[in-house]
């Protein structure tokens, strides 16, 4: 699991540190990792709350993790429709040439 914010970091930005911690949890997790996926979703929402001008990508190490993260993000987004414009539909691995 890797979270990739834009290359330019702002002072006090803890996104990468948090992403590494979440990554460690997901690597240790067997199966879907529902609790870990919820934490990733929480960090995604936090990212767009704190630095909406920056892009964010989430990469999972397995299909099961990707699906769990996608489901968790959808649940988190349901409570925050004001952030919908930050999201594109579908995953990159679903596009042409995937």
pLDDT digits (tens, 9 = 90+) for 48-79: 999 989 888 888 888 888 889 999 999 999 99
What burial class does residue 30 get, using C-beta atoms within 10 Å of its C-beta: 0-12 exposed, 13-18 middle, 19+ buried? exposed
CA distances from 2 to 23, 66, 81 (A): 6, 11, 25
pTM score, whole prediction: 0.62
Task: Please give the pLDDT value at position 45.
Answer: 95
Q: What is the distance between the alpha carbons of residues 56 and 68, in angstroms, rounded to a whole number?
A: 18
Q: Reduced to 3 states, what is the DSSP secondary structure of residue 54?
A: coil
Domain ranges of the chain: 2-94
Closest CA to 26 of 60, 76, 71, 58: 60
**Per-residue confidence at 3, pLDDT binned at 50, 70, 90?**
very low
């Amino acid at each position: 699991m890797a979270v990739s914010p834009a290359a330019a970091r702002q002072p006090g930005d803890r996104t990468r540190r948090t992403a590494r911690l979440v990554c460690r949890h997901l690597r240790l997790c067997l199966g879907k990792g529902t609790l870990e996926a919820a934490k990733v979703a929480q960090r995604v929402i936090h990212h767009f709350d704190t630095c909406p001008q920056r892009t964010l990508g989430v990469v999972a190490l397995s299909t099961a993790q990707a699906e769990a993260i996608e489901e968790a993000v959808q649940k988190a987004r349901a409570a925050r429709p004001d952030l919908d414009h930050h999201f594109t539909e579908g995953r990159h691995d679903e596009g042409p040439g995937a």
